[in-house]
Chain A
Amino acid sequence: MQLSRRRQLSAAALALLGGTTAHAQTDRSESSLPAQFDSGLLWYQENADRIRDLEAVVSVRQPLSEDSGWNGKLTIDTVCGGSPIGAIPSRSAQSFVTPTATSLNPPVAAATQTTTSASGGGGGGGLDNLSLCTNPVQNQKYTVAPGALPIDQSFHDQRFALSGGYDTAVGTRNHVSAGAAISHETDFFSLSLNGLLSRDFNDRNTTVAAGLNLESDTIAPVGGTPVPGSRYGDFRKTGDQSKRVEDLLLGVTQVLSRRWITQANVSLEHAGGYQTDPYKIVTEVDAQGFDAGGIYVYESRPQTRNRYALYWDNKYALDRDMVEASVRLTRDTWGVRSGTVEVRYRLNLGAAGYFEPHVRAYRQTAADFFRFYLPQGTVTPGYASADPRLGGFTGQTFGVKYGLPVGESGELSLRVERYTQRGTDRSSALPGLQGLDLYPGLQALIVQAGLRFTF
Chain B
Amino acid sequence: MMSEVVLRTENLFYKYPSRQDYALLDVSLEIKKGEFVAIIGQNGSGKTTLVKHFNGLLKPTRGQVIVEGQDTKDIPTSELARSVGYVFQNPDHQIFADSVKEEVVFGPKNLGYDEERIEAAYQRVIQEMDLEGFDDEMPFQLSRGQRQRLAVASVLAMEPTILMVDEPTTGQDWKESMALMKLVKQLNDRGHTCIVTTHSMNLVSLFAKRVIVMREAQVFMDGSTQEVFSQVEQIKNAGIKPPEVYFLARDLLPEFNLDRPLTPEILADLLLTH
A binds B: no
Chain A residues engaging chain B, CB cutoff 8 angstroms: none
